[in-house]
Amino acid sequence: MSADQLSRVFAALADPTRREIVSTLALGDATLVELSEPHDMSVQAVSKHLRVLEDAGLVTRSRDAQRRPAHLEAEVFDLMTKWIERYRREAEQRYQRLDALLKETKPKRGAKR
Amino acid sequence: MSADQLSRVFAALADPTRREIVSTLALGDATLVELSEPHDMSVQAVSKHLRVLEDAGLVTRSRDAQRRPAHLEAEVFDLMTKWIERYRREAEQRYQRLDALLKETKPKRGAKR
DNA sequence: TTCCTCCTCAACCAAATGGTTGAGAACAAC
DNA sequence: GTTGTTCTCAACCATTTGGTTGAGGAGGAA
């Protein structure tokens, strides 16, 4: 929906550490310390990454005593794929039209608006 | 392929201005000034955005006198969709397995590695 | 109670990001 | 030639980002 959320989702996945977190969570929910173990950085740093994923709506967190298990929200991926597919399809169609055109005539691309 | 390029592609699309540029280019190649007109910022600023898209491999540029028409490269989108689809599918499968499991027994999630 | 684990908050820092202005190269047109 | 357009480069600035350390709250276990 909002351009803002789309921006946050793309920005969240632009970081390799956060993509690894996502790939871990795809295998099952996990706590902060569990998510931190594979990474060579402080727990606080991973906590910040998790927060970014949460703000983007890619991750939700529940409560289990002092633990806060993180859970991957797969639906948000659809936001991206829809956006991507739209422009990929347009670009491909345009490419095919151009291709067809080239087979007939030698067009002079009129650049003006 | 490289995690680096994937990071650059996601980062490039995290900005609304750059997404608008992509959506414009999906309709056809365009020069810098043409791309700048709709945006309330300097040509140099748009040039920087275009550079980011270029570095991510989303855009290529040709040469026409002093003009440098930008062209959208649709193939790069596949990089993203492949990455996304992979984890979306995993997460969905896991969800369905968990769902099936819940219908049989009451499982205690063993959090330890 | 005391102790240990999990997590968060705050302050700080260096580097990257997104914008600006000004100068100038390359080229077409007059 | 001069003039105007397109684009790039460099310097600068404010804000954001991605990390650190230190302190401390909440809660289970001894």
Better-predicted residue by pLDDT, B14 or B88: B14
Rounded to whole angstroms, the Cα distance separating A47 from A32 reads 7
Domain with B59, as residue range(s), is 3-73
Tens of pLDDT, residues A59-71: 999 999 999 999 9
pLDDT in tens, A87-97: 888 877 877 77
Domain count within chain B: 1
Judge whether A20 lies within some domain.
yes
Determine, yes or no, domain membership for B48.
yes
Instruction: Report CA(A44)–C1'(D22) in Å, whole number.
Output: 12
Query: What CATH number is associated with residue A41?
Result: 1.10.10.10
pLDDT at residue B112 greater than cutoff 80: no
Q: Tell whether B37 is covered by a domain.
A: yes
Hey, are the CB atoms on B84 and A81 less than 8 Å from each other? yes
Q: Taking residues B21-48, what's their average pLDDT?
A: 97
Kindly report the nearest CA distance between residue B23 and chain A, in angstroms.
6
* Contact, B49 CB vs strand C, < 7 Å: yes
pLDDT at A19: 98
Q: Are B6 and A23 a contacting pair at CB < 8 A? A: no
Q: pLDDT digit string (tens) for A5-59?
A: 999 999 999 999 999 999 999 999 999 999 999 999 999 999 999 999 999 999 9
- B3's CB contacts (< 8 A; 6+ apart) are A16, A19
